[in-house]
Amino acid sequence: MYAVAEEGLWATGAKRTNPEEVAGFIRAGQIAVARLDGRLVGCVRIHEVNDTTSEFGMLAADPVHRGLGVGRDLVRFAERRVQDAGHDTMRLELLVPREWSHPSKEFLADWYGRLGYTVTGVGAVEESYPSLAPLLATTCDFVIYEKDLRA
Ligand SMILES: CC(C)(COP(=O)(O)OP(=O)(O)OC[C@H]1O[C@@H](n2cnc3c(N)ncnc32)[C@H](O)[C@@H]1OP(=O)(O)O)[C@@H](O)C(=O)NCCC(=O)NCCS
């Protein structure tokens, strides 16, 4: 599902994750899925960053079911779950090319803004995720977004 959303960012054949890693996330209770009429139409990973902050990632909606609110409902579910766990802040990281603008990332930046997220920082992939940097086809930063769940 990220093939189009991150087209041009990754080297050909590069894999951001693998079945073993995802199985570990499922065992750890970090993966939530959305179903529509029993069919799996979306997923998100939610995990703890520290005592006050959790993060969501790997958010994806089935391409044929986009624009129906699946993504928004998954983000809301993640926020409720984090609030119930007593955390104040939800965070996410958006991978963006450093030198050019990617249409899917522009859409996401606007959408996360509409969902109440603001930019709190920018990091360099090569510094924070050195194992991922060689897999990239273009130099990327990750933009950190946060939302105060108490607001
Ligand atoms: C980001 C993503 C999960 C959103 O899922 P979605 O189920 O389409 O999301 P929603 O329907 O809740 O909302 C999409 C927004 O786009 C708008 N939209 C309108 N028509 C749309 C369409 N045909 N397709 C997608 N979005 C549309 C919606 O109005 C909505 O904006 P709003 O919440 O301000 O009203 C989905 O596009 C996706 O899987 N993208 C690829 C993976 C990715 O980039 N993940 C995020 C990495 S940080």
Cβ-based burial of 118 (10 A; exposed 0-12, middle 13-18, buried ≥19): exposed
Q: Which residues contact 129 (CB under 8 A, 6 or more apart)?
A: 142
Query: What per-residue confidence (pLDDT) applies to 11?
Result: 87
The pLDDT tens digits of the residues spanning 90-130 come to 999 999 999 999 999 999 999 999 999 999 999 999 998 99
State in Å: Cα 13 to ligand 1 middle. 25
Can you list the domains of the chain with their CATH numbers?
A: 2-148 (3.40.630.30)
Which amino acid appears at position 2 of this protein?
Y
Is 82 in a helix, a strand, or coil? helix
Count Cβ atoms below 10 Å from residue 147 Cβ, excluding itself. 20
Q: Which of the pair, 5 or 84, is modelled with greater confidence?
A: 84
Closest Cα to residue 104, out of 26, 1, 8, 4? 4
Closest CA to ligand 1's atom 15: 67
The pLDDT tens digits of the residues spanning 49-88 come to 999 999 999 999 999 999 999 999 999 999 999 999 999 9
Residue 145: strand pairing partners: 92, 119
Closest CA to ligand 1's atom 19: 67
Closest CA to ligand 1's atom 25: 67
Report yes or no: 112 and 92 within 8 Å, Cβ to Cβ: yes
Tokens of 66: 């986009």
Residue 44: strand pairing partners: 32
State in Å: Cα 70 to ligand 1 middle. 8
